[in-house]
A = this chain, B = another copy of it.
Amino acid sequence: MARKPADQTVSREEIIMAAAEVLRRNGYEATTMKDIAAEVNLTAASLYHHFRNKDALLLAVLEGGIEHVIQQLEPVALEEKPVVEKLKQMIAVHIVNLANNPAVGAAFVFEIRALMNMRIPPRNGGQFGQEDMDAFIEKRNKFFAQRDYFEKLFRDVIQEGIDRGVFRKVDVAIVTKALLGAHNWVGVWYRPDGRLSGQEIADIMADTFLRGLAL
C-alpha cells in the first residue's frame, strides 16, 4: 500500500507546528522523526518529502518563530513615541507571542544549542552535497543574526530611554539580558490553562521592570 486512503494531505506548516509541540515536550535530541510524524499521522519516511532532514526541520521551527516575533516587534521598536510606552508594548508583544505559542518559545530557550552544535554534514552523511551544507549554514547564520537583532531591539530602546533621561543609568547589556531571561522563562512555565493570560503576565512584568528602570 501507499498513502492513507481518505485522509487529508499534510502541509509544511502543519509539520513545523507539530514539530514545535513535540520538541517542547521532549527536546530536539530526544525527539524522533517518528514522534513528529505521529503528531500529524504520517510515517517518519514521509517527513523527508517535506524536509531534507531533522536538522532542517528544527531550523524551520526556529526560523518561523523569530521571523514572526521580529515582524511584530520591529515596527514598535522603530516607532517614534515615548520610550516608556514603546518598551511596555515591546514586552507585551514578546510575552503574548510566547504565551500564544509556548512550543516555539521553548524551542528558543532549549534548542538553540542543538542548532549551534549541529554537525554538518549530518551523522550518516547521506546524500548531502556541498551545496546543501552551504545552504544550511547560511540559513543558520541568518537565524543567529536575527536572534542578535532581536536582542538589539530591546537593548536600543533601553539605551534610548537612558539617553533621553527617562531611565536611570543602568548597565544596558545586563539589564537587557535580565529582561529577556525573564521573558524566555515564560515560554517554559506558561500553561494556556493557567491563572493569567499572556497580556496580564506581560502587564505585571512590564510594570515591575519599568519601575526598575525609572529614575
Taken residue by residue from 88 to 120, chain A's Cβ proximity to chain B (1 for < 8 Å, 0 otherwise) reads as 000000000000000000000110011001000
A175 within 8 A of B: yes
Contact-residue size bin, chain A (C-beta under 8 Å from the other chain) = 35 or more
CB distance from A95 to the nearest CB of B (A): 10
Q: Taking the full assembly, how many copies of this chain does it contain?
A: 2
- Residues of chain B contacted by A173 (CB below 8 angstroms): 195
B170 touching A177, Cβ below 8 Å: no
Of B110, B113, B185, B211, which one neighbours A212 at CB under 8 angstroms? B211
A19 within 8 A of B: no
B204 touching A170, Cβ below 8 Å: yes
A213 within 8 A of B: yes
Which A residues form the contact surface with B (CB < 8 A)? 25-30, 109-110, 113-114, 117, 170-171, 173-175, 177-186, 188-189, 195-196, 201, 204-205, 207-214
